[in-house]
Amino acid sequence: MDVRQIYAAKLTSADAAVMALASDSDLAMGMAVAEPPAILAALARRAEAGTLRDLRVWYLLSQTHAGSTILRRDLLGAIRPRCLFMSGVERALIKADPTAEALIDFVPCAFSGSPRLLRDEIALDACVLTVSPMDDDGYFSFGAANDYTSVAAHCAKTVIVEVNPAMPRVACSTPLHVSQVAAIVENHIPLLSFAEGAALSEDEAIAAHIADMVDDGACLQMGIGNLPAAVCRRIGNRRDLGIHTELLTPAMAGLVHSGAVTNRRKTTHPGRSVYSFAMGDEPFYRWMDGNPEVYSLPVDVVNNAAEIARNDRVVSVNATIQVDLQGACNSEFMGGMQHSAAGGQLDFVRGAYGSKGGISVIACRSTAKGGTVSRIVPSLDGPVTTPRNDVHWIVTEHGAANLRGKSLRERAELLIGLADPRFRDELARGL
């Protein structure tokens, strides 16, 4: 049968498509931009009607589509979130109703480990996701969300796709064929858009320190937020930069536009910017669409430390919440609760250090809560996201410190120097 005929035979409504999903089952939801809004709304309607119960939904980094449908407070119970990375959606739920925390199951897992978890340990019953339109050979592209989503789509027993023309078509190693999906839903709406806001003065100071560490030929990984965007704005005059990153952003695309990124010096996928998922705005998605210079891979490949280290001069930039005086970082726990997750921070810290000439940078403002709380602390309030053994550079607005080869006392002295001056004497008294 022709692929267009297969497509037409599987095309249906969202409500009809989700009738194939059973209660007491495990479902993976596409990540971030790949959340399928029409399908999620149909799932919510089934949960409301009582025809879908104990649906365990596995996901990272939920967004507004999930927050307004299956992750509504009144549906928790019928829907059982199995969250691998907390976002503002879960935090808002818990803030509005603290009892919701008991109904959201947070599952600690490195981002790089999520594909194996879903493929080998969960036995997924279903996967729902947004994809790009089908090509002439019958393949859908994962577009802005390869990450764990592609692996889940290839291993789940039932796959339901939401085809959105706004999803960019991006080359990848394992596209999804129409013969592999159970049902197709079409939904022509704009993709979720994420703006890069203006950086605060502290962020600009931190960005200046980090930019000084980026030389021509460096291979970049940048985390999410205003700080990495500020760094990118400062290195537009570099030459022959490369990109190998879990998250691709408009700021990084700007480095391609400026000519700073050529990817010529990369060992892996030379000439291409490699990423696992992308978040940006409509012009950014248009730039990605059909662009032969961008390439997506699953996160267990992109975030594999050995794969990262194959490129020379990797510069990894990530953020943290707290740094203790020995150099350990808590990047996921704040205010007595899980705030986000480990993500891929440690993967890139280790990958960058294994790279010839590579460095990893973990950055944070020196204070929180309007300057009343120090982020440099005697001991962490939460789990260790990046151990002291692995930390390389720590940067605040007050400077940068290389902790490699430093004793515990030397580390403490360097880190106190990165703290806000109002807290330095107090921290020094603890030595």
Read off the CATH number of the domain in which 117 is found.
3.40.1080.10
| CB neighbourhood size of 347 (10 A) | 25
**151 in a domain, yes or no?**
yes
Each residue's pLDDT tens digit, 69-102: 999 999 999 999 999 999 999 999 999 999 999 9
Q: What are the residue ranges of helices labelled H in 87-246?
A: 88-96, 114-116, 149-155, 201-211, 226-234
Range(s) of the domain holding residue 164: 3-186
Each residue's pLDDT tens digit, 8-21: 999 999 999 999 99
Instruction: Give the mean pLDDT of the chain.
Output: 97
Read off the CATH number of the domain in which 292 is found.
3.40.1080.20
Strand ranges, E, within 13-155: 25-29, 55-59, 79-83, 105-106, 126-131, 139-140
* pLDDT of 292 higher than 80: yes
Each residue's pLDDT tens digit, 177-196: 999 999 999 999 999 999 87
Q: What is the reported pLDDT for 183?
A: 98
Report the domain count for the chain: 2
Q: Look at the block and give the residue holding tokens 């999410």.
A: 224
Same domain, 226 and 113: no
**418 in a domain, yes or no?**
yes
Nearest Cα to 409, choosing from 377, 379, 382, 431? 431
Same domain, 168 and 233: no
Burial class (CB in 10 A: 0-12, 13-18, 19+), 279: buried
pLDDT band at 296 (very low <50, low <70, confident <90, very high): very high
Q: What is the reported pLDDT for 195?
A: 85
Give the predicted TM-score (pTM) of the model.
Answer: 0.96
Nearest Cα to 65, choosing from 189, 246, 197, 224? 189
* pLDDT of 431 higher than 90: no
Same domain, 172 and 116: yes
Q: HSE (CB half, 13 Å, CA atoms) of 3? A: 14
| Tokens read off for 374 | 């120090």
Q: What is the reported pLDDT for 75?
A: 98
Each residue's pLDDT tens digit, 396-409: 999 999 999 999 99
The Cα 3–Cα 24 span in angstroms is: 33
Each residue's pLDDT tens digit, 252-291: 999 999 999 999 999 999 999 999 999 999 999 999 999 9
Burial class (CB in 10 A: 0-12, 13-18, 19+), 245: buried
Same domain, 175 and 236: no
Which one of 153, 186, 219 terminates a domain? 186
Q: Is the dihedral of CA 178, 181, 185, 186 positive or negative?
A: negative
Average pLDDT over residues 244-253: 97
% the chain with pLDDT above 70: 100
The DSSP 8-state label assigned to residue 188 in this structure reads -
| Tokens read off for 264 | 């010529």
Each residue's pLDDT tens digit, 48-78: 999 999 999 999 999 999 999 999 999 999 9
Contact by Cβ (8 Å): 275, 298: no
| Tokens read off for 84 | 């691998």
Active site residues: 246
Q: What is the reported pLDDT for 199?
A: 77
